[in-house]
Amino acid sequence: MYPYLLRNVRPSCPNHVWGIDITYICLKHGWMYLVAVVDWYSRYVVSWQLDQTLEMPFVLTAVQSALRQAKPEIWNSDQGSHFTSEQYTDLLKEAGVRISMDGKNRALDNIIT
């Protein structure tokens, strides 16, 4: 787990703060899962991936795609298993990004994403 770095921080320019989250899309015959990386300042969707499973590769692909475009100062997520995995955090550490995670039971910390 990493600390929440965004308390009283207002994104001041593009690539200052990015957030990542996963949402569920209900279809007639099942579910799809969408992961998106959003620049909190511009609201630009930096990267996204859609998949039929919640397995790790689609999250890693979205992260790698985003980091090929630019590198934010701070990258925020919740504390879900995808975002606490070593595979995920290692990508961000290698990129030199400061990792921020929402506090436990703080669903609104990442609402911008």
Confidence category of residue 95, pLDDT binned at 50, 70, 90: very high
Give the mean model confidence (pLDDT) for residues 14-29: 95
Q: Whose CA is closest to 92, among 83, 102, 79, 104? A: 83
Q: Dig out the tokens for 75 from the structure.
A: 């990258």
pLDDT at 102: 84
Q: Whose CA is closest to 34, among 49, 16, 19? A: 49
Round to whole Å and give the CA distance between 10 and 100.
Answer: 14
pLDDT at 107: 54
Other residues' Cβ atoms within 10 Å of the Cβ of residue 60: 18
| pTM summary value | 0.90
The 10s digit of each residue's pLDDT in 56-88 is 999 999 999 999 999 999 999 999 999 999 999
